[in-house]
Amino acid sequence: MKHMHLFLVGFLLLASMQLSACSRQPEAAAEAQAPVQVEHLMGTQPTRVTLTEDAAKRIDIQTDFVQIETVSGVQQTVIPYASILYDTEGHTWVYESPDPLTYLRTPVQVKSISGDDVVIAPGLPAGTALVTVGAEELFGSETEFEEE
């Protein structure tokens, strides 16, 4: 009977060692593989959000471009309405995409809205890529991971 108890203790000890080898990765390794990185830039610079390729696919990021168009006889900066993001204080923002998988939250001043077109105050150059699908998820990622 005594040998049976020693056998059982040895078996449980061996089983617990094997289970500990199956534990999760350390937090540092898990953070290195985070699908989103948020960087609050200094001064008047916008916030930068960088996604992994998989994260961008999951939220189906899509972009369109800033254009200069004649509106009521005047050259105006025009962006798609789908690119406009409103924060809780009513400020208007867009996410520029200067590089693949990199998005900069940038303030814009809306002058007028006509259907799917928004005339904004000058500032964004023609051809700038703006997020039209997935901006809400970028904003949510940005505010979810803010330091407290």
Kindly report the CATH number assigned to the domain that includes residue 87: 2.40.420.20
Q: What is the largest CA-CA distance in the chain?
A: 99
E strands in the chain: 36-40, 47-51, 62-65, 67-71, 74-80, 85-86, 92-99, 102-107, 110-114, 117-120, 129-133
What pLDDT was estimated at residue 30? 47
In a domain, 11, yes or no: no
Number of domains in the chain: 1
d(C-alpha 7, C-alpha 51), whole Å:
52
Q: Which portions of the chain are predicted below pLDDT 70?
A: 1-33, 43-46, 145-148
In a domain, 9, yes or no: no
In a domain, 14, yes or no: no
Structural domain containing residue 107 = 28-144
In a domain, 1, yes or no: no
